[in-house]
Copies of this chain bind each other. A is one copy, B any other.
C-alpha cells in the first residue's frame, strides 16, 4: 500500500488505432472511437480513444498486479473527468496516489480512496482523472 498523498508514476502506455477501435466496438461504439475517417470529421479532428479505455488498461496492466491481491470489493468511482482526448500512439503517464484509508470496525478490512491522474509524457496538463474507493483486506 502507498503512503497517503505520495503520488507515484504507476506506468506508461499508448493505445494504437487498432486497440482503440477494438475496445470501442465492444464497449463504446461511437463513430469517432471506431472510425479514423469519422474521427477526422469530429470536433477532435482525429480518432480518439473511448474515455474509460486508458484507465481500464492502466488498472488491469499496472494496478492489479501491484495492489489486486488484497482487494475484497470495489465500492465507488467518482470525479471521473475526461478533460482532453486520448489520441492514438501518444504516450500517456498514469500517476497514482492514495487520498484516504479508513480501517473498518471489523478491523479486518479498510476502505482506500485511490486517485488516478493521466497526462501525456512530458506534459503537466491533465487529460483524465478519477478517484475510486476500494475495500481491501486490512494490512
Contact = CB atoms under 8 A, between A and B. Distances in A.
Interface of A: 26-30, 42-44, 51-52, 56, 59-60, 64, 68, 71-82, 85, 130
A51 B52 CA distance: 13
7 contacts: A27-B59, A28-B59, A29-B64, A73-B85, A75-B81, A76-B81, A78-B78
Q: How many copies does the complex hold?
A: 2
Contacts of A74: 51, 82
Contacts of A60: 26-29
A56 B52 CA distance: 10
A52 B116 CA distance: 17
B64 A30 contact: yes
Contacts of A130: 77
B68 A29 contact: yes
